[in-house]
Structure 1
Amino acid sequence: MPEITGLRGDDPAEVAGYRLTGRLSSTVYAGRSAAGEAVAVRLLPAEMDPEPFLRVIEPLQGLSAVSTAQILATGVLDDRAYVVSEYVDGPALETVGGTLDGVALYRLAVGTITALVAIHQAGLVHGDIRPGNVLLGPDGPRVIDVGLERAMAEAAVSTRKVAVPAYTAPERLRGARPRAPADVFSWAATLVFAASGASPFDGGSMAGTVDRIVNGEPALPHLGELHGLIAACLAKDPAARPAASEVLLRLVGQTSFLTGQVAVAEPPKPPAWPAEPPAWPAEPPARRRPGLLPLVAAFVVGALVSGAGVYAVTGRAGPAGTVAASTSPSGSPAADPSITPTITSAQTEAPLEKVEKKAATDTKLPGIGVTLHEHPNDPVRAVSYVESKGSFTSYARDRSGAFKAVGVTEQPLLSPGGDWVALNPLLKFQGSELDQVKFHRLSTGESFVVSTVKKPLQSLIPVWSRDGGKLLLSVYNRESKPARLVGFVVVDLATRKSVHVETEYLDDASLTYTFAPDGSIARGYWDGKRGGIEYYDMSGQVTKTMHWVGMPRGGSWFSPSGKRFVTVCPNGKDFCVWATQGGARQATVPFGDAGGSFIGWFNETHLLVQDPGKKKGTQVIKVIDLVGVTERVLADFATDDPALLQFARVQGR
């Protein structure tokens, strides 16, 4: 808690209607509003010209951003400018640096970068991110003094020198004005201080520190899964640093939580089965694209997406292949785990369905660098996405084909009926201990919120039932060591209530739950030797296991008819198509020379996959048949920016 000393004889008793109650420093006072709310009041030095200072600081008064101390009032008192802001009852990070790691460090990273995203989205910069300007409040970290450094520089008679070079970007030390990339650099240096108690560029003296920032490499402590991201933010070249929005998307869920029929740029190539799978969540490679979402404390993301996390699994809590009931949810006998059905590589017996070879329209989606190539006869189309820059606005496509804004920093998932949108927040626990999911109706604008689980549990990876009447979310405990997938939540759209189910097995995995065609719950698993799928009832018990089929990806592995499903084959080298009833293999689909990532089904005899594009840093979503031949490209990713792009079936097809 900040130390508050008594007022002195020459201190004012009141500023702009706020009663001063004590001193926080020589120029900052504690105070109370007429309603009794605690505030902090800063008086600027008398030698500073109030007019240019207020010209810079007054626009910030309207900024209400998560994890910042809001400016409540500005003005002039006896020729001295003042700023009244929210009071944060907690210590500055500079007093506790070197003590944060694990979950605490992750929360600090998410909270502070969320504040920067909001500041940058407003067209502003902070200009002075450092340990002294981050307060650890009871409701999370708060960034203070937004824009103060720039405002004071404008008001000073002479050029104001940078006060704390240890956290200042190299371009600013060369005289450049504060810009968004400099904030990201300072944020990363501040996170290093939180973990180690020292600046990553500590040179023993101010001159030595400045030289190391400009010419040397940072000294980084063990930062766990944050290490690669922090290092990227400390790049000397401002253009090489990720934007605050990309940092947030990378942080939220570490980009492997939002699964389903969602396309994201730069998917990893499916690996062979590891002898000892790494613990979940796996650290994403440098500049791996979130499948959003994440985006945000959100990620956010979000992300959040099928990808490497599908394979990042460890041993199960129970014996492999255990059958907990004698019948499946539909009443049919459960599969005997000791029996493996006949496996063939024959093609599916379904007649080959037509795919239009040429698109009729090209549609660019603003904010994510994606162009859709669509035809009116397509049974699948893009239906929702989240801006990867700017405001992180979420869009959903209504029945007329128009994309409508439906939320901010939320993962949108359009229902099979095309009217309801489920919005899973990327920013979790903002003002509540309960996780929630929002539902929005495109045709009427109606919306409501359903609570799912209580902190430290989180509900992620939403999947709609085939009739659009229920939403399924996977539940995990991020604070357990290691983090575990612990169950699922089913939300009933009609009753607007949720049911939380704790499952028989707790997995260190991101193999998440989905609806099977009969309405039961299914998921992939890894038992330490092989991967398969299992079915659950609403008591959380396993009712059926298919231990020979390999690992599913995402939440859309069942075909439109429900008669077959796709996995990565047990050899880890191809896609396998299996019969839902009985589990016989119907097709083996090669990845192709460039590798590939399964997105979902296009129709009963064609798959949607994501591949690298012709140009470096680009990706394509394409339709392939069950021998791996490309029929048509559905979408081009022209940039490597993060994207959450959902494909879904067109109603009636």
Structure 2
Amino acid sequence: MPEITGLRGDDPAEVAGYRLTGRLSSTVYAGQSAAGETVAVRLLPAEMDPEPFLRTIEPLQALSAVSTAQILATGLLGEQAYVVSEYVDGPALEAAGRTLNGVALYRLAVGTITALVAVHQADLVHGDIRPGNVLLGPDGPRVIDVGLERAMAASAISTRKVAVPAYTAPERLRGAPPRPPADVFSWAATMVFAASGSAPFEGGSMAGTVDRIVNGEPDLPDLGELHGLIAACLAKDPATRPAASDVLLRLVGQTSYLTGQVVTGEPPSRPTEPPPRRRVSLLPLAAAFVVGALVSGAGVYAVTGGNAPARTVTAATSPASPASPASPASPAATPTITSAQTEAPLEKVEKKAATETKLPTIGVTLHEHPNDPVRLVSYVESTGSFTSYAREKSGTFKAVGVTEQPLLSPGGDWVALNPLLKFQGSELDQVKFTKLSTGESFVVSTVKKPLQSLIPVWSRDGGKLLLSVYNRESKPARLVGFVVIDLATRKAVHVETEYLDDATLTYTFAPDGTIARGYWDGKRGGIEYYDMVGQVTKTMHWVGLPRGASWFSPSGKRFATVCPDGKSFCVWDTKGGARQATVPFGHSNGSFLGWFNETHLLVQDPGKKKGTQVVKIIDLVGVTERVLADFAKDDPALIQFARVQGR
């Protein structure tokens, strides 16, 4: 915990409505909001020109808070500029007093590079990555002072006095401005410090260190699987270093099942072919999942309800959507909107839970009823050995693996275990299958390195497993196809697709057993259906973007997406694409998880207490019927909700 000392006589009592409670350093104070939340308040030197500083720091307020200390407010106190940011209750890496290895080092690497991904995707740079700017918070590492050096430089003020520029990229020592490759270099040097307690170019003096950074080779400790990646990031030539996004995907190779971010665009026109792909990176969304899954051990799988294209493609038969989201829908231009209740009888949801089940190792409390058609069926511990658990038909949870993503089949007996750490002793990616009732197990190889198979989804009959395939070495990493594993034959079929698409829009099984996925062309989002040679057979370009892998309802007659306007969830008819319901977001940071029954959705929203989350059952007008689970922290540990067999 950072040391907080008392205020001095000349210190202000309040800044921007935050009451100051103590000093964290000579320029940073601890403060408290009216709601009692602790913040960090930096008061800039009185001699600096505040206007250029505030202009430079302003874009950082919109930055994703994934693994960074979020900026809450900026402004002037008299003639002094201030920055109010999220308080991280943990020591700086340089003061932690210990070195890291194994899983701990891996988690630190993922968390901190995730922060850089978010910064760089916002067309910003950090400019000052070092052990003093990485805090080891209780919910994972946080990178602080993002962009502060650049903002201070705009006012001709140095952010800090550097005794030894041990973490500075060689091009910056030659006078180049801070750019993303320099951040990657500094990140790698900081990871070396985390593993060894010293900088990789330590030269005994400033001159010696500068000479080693510019001309010498780094001293690298035993970094395990990170060794080659860290060495590549410390290359002298910035052009040869991997981008932060590539580093992240090489480390984890995972993408988001759930995201709270909504991608919007202009409403679609009706093409006869899918428009050519123009890559719009959604990697910060993937980063959010990665941090949850492997940094704080968190993330939520969508409900699994049993449930590259050729140039010439058959277009969807449904009419196009309206020309403007503000314009009334024309019957000739958009699918007919019907009442959801006329399409399916309103299904009952038990208003009160009958049992409460606590899973203390992941901080989750389940509020279940015997009549629920959906329940939690698997999870991964967020600390310790990262043990994977699957729920037996009796209701008890059984340990089934370690550092593996468990996915229980619709039949409730077979568990697919997808390794979170790939290529451990083999060039082949593999999936392990274990039968809960007998302990029988077997392994199926999917693709060969550098490809990876991720985001498993069971078919509705439990006979096949679908995984999305990524090229981990392409720049940027792309979704390049899918793999289908047949449980009966124990063989995998790898299907390449012509479109190399965004990594966050993964494949899933459609109700009829064909393959479907969302797509984003830079202007609009929709869905596509594929055959087993990778060709698109149908597209619905007006429906918006699906989330996760479980957007089809239990009957398969409808599916849900984030609406094209990005302001609500839309429910569509699967056959023709007519809109059946528009469901308002419960919270701006909420996420769609899947279907509870035919007329209710599962969503994840922030809880009443800061840092908590809830999974809620809502109807198709957005009314909450019941809370299904409480999460004691923002991101619970790799949880899978799934349908109960026969319901």
Common fold by TM > 0.5: yes
Q: After superposition, where does 1:253-264 map in structure 2 within 5 Å?
A: 257-258=254-255
Is 1:456 paired with 2:450? yes
Is 1:558 paired with 2:552? yes
8 A contact 1:600–1:609 mirrored in 2:
yes
Shift of 1:507: 1.0
8 A contact 2:250–2:473 mirrored in 1:
no
* 1:222 aligns with one of 181, 184, 192: 181
8 A contact 1:258–1:462 mirrored in 2:
no
Is 1:204 paired with 2:164? yes
Helix, strand or coil for the counterpart of 1:592? coil
Helix, strand or coil for the counterpart of 2:485? strand
Quick one: distance in 1 between partners of 2:289 and 2:397? Answer: 23
8 A contact 1:251–1:295 mirrored in 2:
no
Summarize deviations over 1:371-419 as a string: whole Å, max 9, x none: 1111111000000001111111001001000011100111000000000
Is 1:471 paired with 2:465? yes
* 1:587 aligns with one of 551, 576, 581: 581
CA spacing shift, 1:225–1:119, aligned 2, 3 Å: closer
For 1:30, the equivalent position in structure 2 comes to none
* 2:437 aligns with one of 435, 443, 465: 443
Quick one: distance in 2 between partners of 1:223 and 1:279? Answer: 24
Aligned amino acid, residue 254 of structure 2: F
**Which structure has the bigger radius of gyration?**
1
Aligned amino acid, residue 416 of structure 1: P
* 2:340 aligns with one of 328, 344, 347: 347
* 1:393 aligns with one of 379, 383, 387: 387
CA spacing shift, 1:641–1:257, aligned 2, 3 Å: same
Is 1:374 paired with 2:333? no
Aligned amino acid, residue 222 of structure 1: P
* 1:324 aligns with one of 313, 317, 323: 313
Summarize deviations over 1:164-212 as a string: whole Å, max 9, x none: xx998899xxxxxxx999x989xxxxxxxxxxxxxx9962399x99xxx
Quick one: distance in 1 between partners of 2:286 and 2:458? Answer: 30
Is 1:405 paired with 2:399? yes
Summarize deviations over 1:458-494 as a string: whole Å, max 9, x none: 0000000000000000001121122111100000001
* 1:268 aligns with one of 260, 265, 284: 260
Aligned amino acid, residue 542 of structure 1: V
8 A contact 2:524–2:564 mirrored in 1:
yes
8 A contact 2:301–2:640 mirrored in 1:
no
Q: After superposition, where does 1:474-485 map in structure 2 within 5 Å?
A: 474-485=468-479
CA spacing shift, 1:232–1:624, aligned 2, 3 Å: farther
CA spacing shift, 1:509–1:571, aligned 2, 3 Å: same
Summarize deviations over 1:258-288 as a string: whole Å, max 9, x none: 555xx7xxx53435338998744523699x4
CA spacing shift, 1:431–1:357, aligned 2, 3 Å: same
Q: After superposition, where does 1:118-129 map in structure 2 within 5 Å?
A: none
- TM-score with structure 2 length normalisation? 0.58
For 2:103, the equivalent position in structure 1 comes to 117
Helix, strand or coil for the counterpart of 1:117? helix
Aligned amino acid, residue 421 of structure 1: V
For 1:128, the equivalent position in structure 2 comes to none
Quick one: distance in 2 between partners of 1:568 and 1:205? Answer: 47
Summarize deviations over 1:301-328 as a string: whole Å, max 9, x none: 897978xxxxxxxxxx989xx65359xx
Quick one: distance in 2 between partners of 1:432 and 1:648? Answer: 32
8 A contact 2:298–2:637 mirrored in 1:
no
Quick one: distance in 1 between partners of 2:363 and 2:188? Answer: 23
Summarize deviations over 1:89-144 as a string: whole Å, max 9, x none: xxxxxxxxxxxxxxxxxxxxxxxx994327999xxxxxxxxxxxxxxxxxxxxxxx
Summarize deviations over 1:574-623 as a string: whole Å, max 9, x none: 10000111111100000035442100000000000000100111110000
Quick one: distance in 2 between partners of 1:360 and 1:519? Answer: 35
Shift of 1:344: 1.1
Shift of 1:368: 1.2
CA spacing shift, 1:421–1:590, aligned 2, 3 Å: same
What 5-or-longer segments of structure 2 have no aligned partner? 1-98, 108-128, 143-159, 169-177, 195-222, 227-246, 268-276, 303-307, 322-332
CA spacing shift, 1:652–1:385, aligned 2, 3 Å: same
Aligned amino acid, residue 626 of structure 1: L
Q: After superposition, where does 1:401-550 map in structure 2 within 5 Å?
A: 401-550=395-544
Shift of 1:640: 3.3
CA spacing shift, 1:544–1:120, aligned 2, 3 Å: closer
Quick one: distance in 1 between partners of 2:580 and 2:570? Answer: 8
CA spacing shift, 1:640–1:582, aligned 2, 3 Å: closer
Quick one: distance in 1 between partners of 2:542 and 2:165? Answer: 63
Helix, strand or coil for the counterpart of 1:283? helix
Quick one: distance in 2 between partners of 1:571 and 1:368? Answer: 35
CA spacing shift, 1:519–1:231, aligned 2, 3 Å: same
Q: How many residues align?
A: 428
Quick one: distance in 2 between partners of 1:291 and 1:229? Answer: 18
8 A contact 1:486–1:506 mirrored in 2:
yes
8 A contact 1:460–1:474 mirrored in 2:
yes
For 2:84, the equivalent position in structure 1 comes to none
8 A contact 1:254–1:281 mirrored in 2:
no
Quick one: distance in 1 between partners of 2:141 and 2:640? Answer: 30
Shift of 1:338: 6.5
Quick one: distance in 2 between partners of 1:230 and 1:572? Answer: 40
Q: After superposition, where does 1:41-190 map in structure 2 within 5 Å?
A: 115-117=101-103
Aligned amino acid, residue 454 of structure 1: K
For 1:59, the equivalent position in structure 2 comes to none
Quick one: distance in 2 between partners of 1:595 and 1:204? Answer: 42
* 2:317 aligns with one of 335, 342, 359: 335
8 A contact 2:430–2:443 mirrored in 1:
yes
Helix, strand or coil for the counterpart of 2:528? strand
What 5-or-longer segments of structure 1 have no aligned partner? 1-112, 122-165, 172-178, 186-199, 210-218, 236-243, 307-316, 327-333
RMSD between aligned residues: 4.4
Shift of 1:366: 2.8
Shift of 1:346: 2.5
Helix, strand or coil for the counterpart of 1:401? coil
- TM-score with structure 1 length normalisation? 0.58
8 A contact 1:564–1:577 mirrored in 2:
yes
CA spacing shift, 1:278–1:511, aligned 2, 3 Å: same
Is 1:628 paired with 2:590? no
Aligned amino acid, residue 440 of structure 2: E
